[in-house]
Amino acid sequence: MRRFTLLICFFLSSFTAAKEKPGISEELNVDVPMRDGTILRADVFRPVGEGPFPVLMARTPYDKTGLRKGARRFAEKGYIVVIQDARGRFKSEGEWESFVRFDTNDGRDGYDTVEWSAKLPGSTGKVGTYGASYNAFLQWRTAALAPPSLVCMSAHSIPARYTDLEGMGSIKPGRRLQWWYASMTPDLRKRSGNPGTTSKGEAKKLWQEGKDKWLNFVPWLELPKTFWEEETEAVHAWLKNPALDPWALHKGVPRVKVPNFNAIGWFDHCNGNLLLDTETFANAGTPVARERSYTLVGPWSHTGRGGRKVGEIDFGPEARVNLFALELQWFDYWLKGEGESPAPDTPYRIFVMGDNKWRDEPAWPLERAVARSWFLTSGGDANTPRGDGKLTPEQPADSSRDTYEYDPENPVPTLYSAAAFTVPADQSPHAERGDILVYQSEPLKERIEVTGNPVFELFAATSAADTDFFARLIDVAPDGTNVDVSLGMIRARYRNGLEEEAPVTPGEVVRYEIEMNPTSIAFHAGHRIRLDITSSDFPNFDRNHNTAANPNADPELKIATQTIFSGGETATVLRLPVIPE
């Protein structure tokens, strides 16, 4: 009955006058009725010529006008393309429900839009979805409801859990505050009539002018309403319980029936991205979804996917990938029955940094990986690269310790992109900081490939009731260039998992296990493997206040003295997943 109703509503919906482009017709702001009566609006792009044509659909909270260029490119290739403003955003009606909420209409709206799109005049009835980041989040919400006309999707660069995006019970202020202030609230303000700028361009300018003030603001719960506008209540609810995960996209995977093409980067919340993929290959709801999905992992960040240069690091010509061509090949195969799938016989294609080569793999993590231990040792002076910290394959018999002070008023600054996205970065600007412990191997005599999640077993004590520890894996070239390739962190109170808060006893030696971000890096002969330990990476991560209070609610900041142990019964060790030659 719902399908019939949606079909009738389509023919009764109000259309903006169609615009003609060479080879394409355009209908802008077409009414799309949802099951609860809310009207969402979409632009529809059609190839000029004989159909029928399959449909591609993308939904976004960021203003669909930004998707028009890509929509026209797909329409020129023989697709009806539907791009839609999400509920409560820009031209669509209703109330926006941000991704910090636990119960939203995102999946239902996606389902209804897929089925509406399948019934467009001239459609074959087959629909594929596409988009990255939040647009990919909306795809996974839709796919978990299994709309019958959905055939495939191309959802890129979204982690499975919100806690993958923000960190362990924290907010990532560098990106998240900028995102709210400059991207999301101008339209909320426009719709509500609240005072302040409604221009994204003006909001970005204001953010740049005042970001230092806002990034150093404590606590987040006392930020002015202009940051969250009509979503203030929902954001505050999450900030009061930052260990909660309102996403859990991986839990919807058993209901997903269609294959997905995912293009992600080693520097882009990769652990959470790969969790979605491993769940898909193991537990998706149909054989085709389990066996025919495809994951491409490049040396990229959240932006610049498909390019060869990320930040200031050039990964060579092989890193460059034409993602539009791959997506088109994917859709042609699944929606038109033309050509071959871009997916090889194996489900993963990964880029091995250092070698700067692509390689196909049958599974993740790689079954042939062997855990190799590198132990920390020093004479008690591992602070800065000039110190005596070493990484060695042999476990030291004697115990030693290194100390540093972590002052949240003077945190280690993040080395990342202007858009506040993580990128591989030369760590030289931090060379003089005494609050970073540095441990490095002797120059390697042969190539060592590390592919997988490094695991760092840390023995440490702190003078605080709660604190953070960060571990950063770095490739040190013979010319001294030192580029980070993997990061891991742990918030002491969540050392036993996000489900259980456990403040530490000041001065007590505690064992922490930190699973670092996945990577694939070949350390070549003459290079050194380096591990840095510190307690901050700001503003990529919020500063731990070194108190047992909720840092989102309490403004107090304390200095913590951190002690790292190595050797003997408290042998701190880095375990690297090494691929045998």
pLDDT the model gives residue 345: 87
Task: Report the relative pairing of strands 261-265 and 294-298 from DSSP bridges.
Answer: parallel
Angle at the Cα of 75 (from 71 to 80), degrees rounded to 5? 95
Contact 319, 298 (CB under 8 A): yes
Q: What is the pLDDT of residues 329-357, one digit of tens each?
A: 999 999 999 999 988 889 999 999 999 99
CA distance 78 to 349: 28
Contact 197, 189 (CB under 8 A): yes
pTM of model > 0.85: yes
Own/partner contacts of 167-170, CB < 8 Å, gap of 24 or more, are 167/489, 167/491, 167/541, 167/542, 168/243, 168/489, 168/490, 168/491, 168/494, 168/498, 169/242, 169/243, 169/491, 169/493, 169/494, 169/498, 170/242, 170/491, 170/541, 170/542, 170/544, 170/551
pLDDT the model gives residue 21: 55
Q: What is the pLDDT of residues 105-143, one digit of tens each?
A: 999 999 999 999 999 999 999 999 999 999 999 999 999
Q: What are the structural domains, with CATH classification, of the chain?
A: 1-156 (3.40.50.1820), 171-240 (no CATH), 257-364 (3.40.50.1820), 370-579 (2.60.120.260)
pLDDT the model gives residue 11: 31
CA distance 33 to 299: 41
Residue 187 phi/psi, 5-degree rounding, is -70, -35
Residue 7 reports pLDDT greater than 90? no
Q: What is the pLDDT of residues 546-574, one digit of tens each?
A: 998 999 999 999 999 999 999 999 999 99
**How many secondary structure helices (H) and strands (E) does the chain include?**
12, 26
Q: What is the pLDDT of residues 131-179, one digit of tens each?
A: 999 999 999 999 999 999 999 999 999 999 999 988 777 789 999 999 9
pLDDT, averaged across the chain: 94
How many CB atoms neighbour CB 500 within 10 A?
Answer: 10
Kindly state the average pLDDT of the residues 194-214: 95
pLDDT the model gives residue 500: 86
Tally the C-alpha atoms within 13 A of residue 462's C-alpha that lie toward its C-beta: 29
Residue 13 reports pLDDT greater than 60? no
pLDDT the model gives residue 418: 84
Q: To the nearest whole percent, how much of the chain has pLDDT over 70?
A: 96
pLDDT the model gives residue 49: 87
> Which of 444, 472, 476, 437 minimizes the C-alpha distance to 566?
437
CB-based contacts of 479: which residues, under 8 Å, 6+ apart? none
Kindly state the average pLDDT of the residues 376-394: 97
Residue 45 reports pLDDT greater than 90? yes
Using left for φ > 0, alpha for ψ between -120 and 50, and beta otherwise, residue 99 falls in alpha
pLDDT band at 16 (very low <50, low <70, confident <90, very high): very low
pLDDT the model gives residue 206: 95
